[in-house]
Amino acid sequence: MPKATFQFPKNFLWGTATSSHQVEGQNTNNSWSQWENEADRILENQKAGKACDWWAGRWKEDFDRAQESGQNAHRLSIEWSRVQPARDRWDENALDYYREMIRGLVNRGITPMVTLHHFSDPIWLMEQGGWENDDTPILFEKYVYKVVQALKEYVNLWVTINEPNIYTYFGYLEGTFPPGKKSPKSAYIVMRNLLRGHTAAYHCIHRAQIESRVGIAHHIQVFKPARTWSPLDKWITNLHARNFNLSFADTLINGKFRFLFKSEKIKEAINTQDFFGLNYYSTSLVRFSALAFSEFLGKHSFPPDTEISPSNFIANVPEGLFTALKWAQRSGLPILVTENGIEDASDDLRRRYLVEHLNQLWRAYSFHNTPIIGYFHWSLLDNFEWERGWSQRFGLWGLNVDTQQRIRRPSVDLYAEICRTNALDSDIVLKFALQSFKKLFPG
Ligand code: BGC
C-alpha cells in the first residue's frame, strides 16, 4: 500500500460554516420566516422553527463539538432582523448575545469569521423593496457599522454578503427564494445594489478596524459544455458562466458590471476584497436548447459517471474545486474556501467527497502555488436547508429536529484527524474512505 501525507500550509484555518437563519431558531422577523408561513414555498411546508436551537443556548454544546474535533475556525452569520428589528430601532440585547456567542468561540481557541448577510433580510426592509430599493446599500452600511463596533474586539475576518449570485438568481429570476420574483429587470437592480452595499460595507469595516480582512463568499459553479464539439453548447456555457459566476466577482476586479442584458461601470467596487471567499459544491454540464426559455436556453445535467447526492442536488466532482480555485487565483488574493460540502444522511458519500475535495485543494496549493489560507466545511451540523426544508443533511453531525439530539457521524472523526494534523494522510483515507484510496494514492 502506498503511503503519503498531503500537508497543508502553516496556520491554515480549518473550520465549518453555518448561517443564522439555518441554525439559530426563533427567527420570526425576517424574509424567510415570512416565506415559511406562505403555503407551498418550502418543501412539505416545513419551517426552520427551533432550527439547531442556538438562540436558546445550544451554540455552546455545538462550539464544544467543533473545539473537541480540532477545528480552529468557524464561520457564522449575524441576523440583520435581530440587530435592527425595525428601521428606527436597534436591539442592544441581540448584539450582546452575539458578543457572548463569538466570545464563546474565541475562548475555545476558534477563530470567528462573521458573515453580515446570508440570504435573510428584515421584514421592514423587504416592505420597502429590499435590495431593489436604492437606499438599501446605505442602510446595510449602517447595520454593518453597528455590528462591527460591537464585535471588533473578537473578530477581524468578515464576509459582507454570502453568495450574491444565488440570492439574486433564486429570489429574482427563479422565484424559489423570497420575494419569489421572476424579473430580469429586478435581478439586475438587486445585483447592482448588492455590489454597492458590499462596497460601502468594505470601506466602513476598514474605517472601523484597520486590521480587518473583508471579502465576499462567492458561489462558483463550474460549467462545462455538454457536447465539447458543439459551438452552441460552448456559447451557452460561457454565457451562463459569465452571468452566474463572473458578473459580481469580476466587477470587484475590473469595475465593469455586466449582467443579463445590461452593463455599467461601478469603479468604486474595484479592490474591495482582501481575500477571495469561494463556495464550491459542484459542476454541471450545459446543453443548448432553444426551447429552454426558463433555463436561459441551457439545460443542466451532472457529468456522467459521477456520484450524485441522495436528493440529486450535488455531484461529487472534486476536479471542479481545482478549476474554481485556479479561476479564483486570477484575483491575486489569498483564497479561503468559505463553503464546501454535500448532503448525505448516510455519511458514506460525504467522506469520499471530503477527502477528494481536500486532495484537490492540496494539489492546487502544492503544484500551482494557489495561496489557500483556509477551508470551511458546510456544515458543522444538519440545519435548515432553505426551500428544501429539512430534507437535506449537510452536517458532520446529524440532527434529530424533534429531540434536538446530535448524532455523531464518522465524518466528525475523519475531519478531526485532518484538522489536528493539518494534513490528509493515506492512513486516514484508508480508515475512513477506502473507496477513494486508489484515486488519491495511485502508488
Ligand atoms: C448556502 C448555504 C446552504 C448550502 C447548501 C450554499 O449555497 O450558502 O446556506 O445551506 O449552499 O445548500
C-beta 31 within 6 A of ligand 1: no
Distance 22 CA to ligand 1 centre (A): 9
At residue 347, the pLDDT reads: 98
Average pLDDT over every residue of 295-312? 95
Cell of 294: 426558463
HSE-up of 400 (CA within 13 Å, CB side)?
Answer: 7
Structural contact between residues 414 and 356, judged by C-beta atoms closer than 8 angstroms: no
Which of ligand 1's atoms lies nearest the C-alpha of 388? 12
Distance 96 CA to ligand 1 centre (A): 27
Q: Rounded distance, CA 4 to CA 2, Å?
A: 7
Distance 55 CA to ligand 1 centre (A): 20
Q: Rounded distance, CA 221 to CA 283, Å?
A: 6
The residue nearest atom 12 of ligand 1, judged by CA position, is 385
C-beta 219 within 6 A of ligand 1: yes
At residue 293, the pLDDT reads: 81
Q: Rounded distance, CA 413 to CA 396, Å?
A: 9
Supply the mean pLDDT for the chain: 97
Distance 243 CA to ligand 1 centre (A): 19
Among 288-297, 299-308, 343-352, the minimum mean pLDDT is found in 288-297
At residue 295, the pLDDT reads: 86
C-beta 166 within 6 A of ligand 1: yes
Closest CA relative to residue 414, chosen from 70, 105, 6: 70
Which of ligand 1's atoms lies nearest the C-alpha of 383? 10
Q: Rounded distance, CA 126 to CA 190, Å?
A: 12
C-beta 387 within 6 A of ligand 1: no
Q: What is the dihedral of CA 146, 147, 150, 154, to 10 degrees?
A: -150
Class of residue 87 by CB neighbours under 10 A (exposed 0-12, middle 13-18, buried 19+): exposed
Strands (E), 183-269: 213-219, 222-225, 256-259, 262-265
Whole-prediction pTM value? 0.98
Distance 343 CA to ligand 1 centre (A): 10
Mutate which of 339, 377, 379, 399 for ligand 1 pocket (most atoms within 8 A of beta carbon): 339
C-beta 19 within 6 A of ligand 1: yes
At residue 11, the pLDDT reads: 97
Q: Rounded distance, CA 287 to CA 263, Å?
A: 26
Which of ligand 1's atoms lies nearest the C-alpha of 386? 10
Class of residue 438 by CB neighbours under 10 A (exposed 0-12, middle 13-18, buried 19+): exposed
CA distances 294 to 164, 173, 220, 239, 288, Å, are: 20, 9, 21, 15, 13
pLDDT in tens, 371-415: 999 999 999 999 999 999 999 999 999 999 999 999 999 999 999
Distance 234 CA to ligand 1 centre (A): 28
Distance 118 CA to ligand 1 centre (A): 9
Distance 248 CA to ligand 1 centre (A): 18
Average pLDDT over every residue of 108-114? 99
pLDDT in tens, 132-190: 999 999 999 999 999 999 999 999 999 999 999 999 999 999 999 999 999 999 999 99
Contacts of 243 (CB under 8 A, 6+ apart): 259, 260, 296
Which of ligand 1's atoms lies nearest the C-alpha of 392? 12
pLDDT in tens, 259-302: 998 999 999 999 999 999 999 999 999 999 998 888 889 999 99
At residue 39, the pLDDT reads: 98
Distance 21 CA to ligand 1 centre (A): 11
Q: Rounded distance, CA 158 to CA 152, Å?
A: 10
- In the chain, the amino acid numbered 254 is N
Helices (H) and strands (E) in the chain, counts: 16, 17
Cell of 331: 484575483
At residue 246, the pLDDT reads: 96
At residue 294, the pLDDT reads: 80
C-beta 378 within 6 A of ligand 1: yes
At residue 296, the pLDDT reads: 86
| pLDDT(59) > 90 | yes
The residue nearest atom 10 of ligand 1, judged by CA position, is 385
Mutate which of 27, 167, 385 for ligand 1 pocket (most atoms within 8 A of beta carbon): 385
